[in-house]
Amino acid sequence: MDTTYGVYYVYGNHDSQPYSNSPAYTKKELAYAILDNGLTILEDDYVEINRELILAGRADAAWRNDSGRMTPEELLIDADREKYIIVADHQPVEAKDQGTAGADLLLSGHTHAGQIWPVGCITELTGQLNYGEYDENGCKVIVSSGFAGWGYPLRAQGHCEYVIVHIRRQSA
């Protein structure tokens, strides 16, 4: 992919095949494949882009958010809050904390918009972010349904998508 500012990657909960008894590759082999193809892995790290944006990538929350990853505040402790801060986090968890830490935009997926009815309805009733746009403590949150499913070769709720976000500088 030809790009001015690079291509960035955050891990998701299935990337290292934790649910498989015989994974097809190791986490180290996956990282090499990603890096060898010119992508930059952001795992509890951030980069400054064009002196205007900060792109932060979270380590995946794993099962029950027990991965030992940094908190949003720890991740952005030294980030310039005057810049527009985008956080990529596979799972839409800790969204309110992202806003409190100074993030302007959180991009997530993971939920597949429920994928199979009534899962999405149930997660929304419990207050979890499932699909769409939200505002959490001043942070715009976009949760995509993604373009694939998980576990089952069907989708009875939600649709397949990839999201393109246009960010424009505000007129003075």
Model pLDDT, residue 35: 96
Residue 101 is assigned to a structural domain of this protein: yes
Model pLDDT, residue 5: 93
The Cα–Cα gap between 35 and 79 comes to: 24
pLDDT digits (tens, 9 = 90+) for 35-60: 999 999 999 999 999 999 999 999 99
**What is the domain range of residue 98?**
43-143
pLDDT digits (tens, 9 = 90+) for 115-168: 566 766 677 777 777 778 989 899 999 988 766 656 656 666 667 778 889 988
Residue 153 is assigned to a structural domain of this protein: no
CB 105 within 8 A of CB 139: yes
Q: Which residues is 46 bridged to in the sheet?
A: 56
Number of domains in the chain: 1
Model pLDDT, residue 17: 75
Residue 108 is assigned to a structural domain of this protein: yes
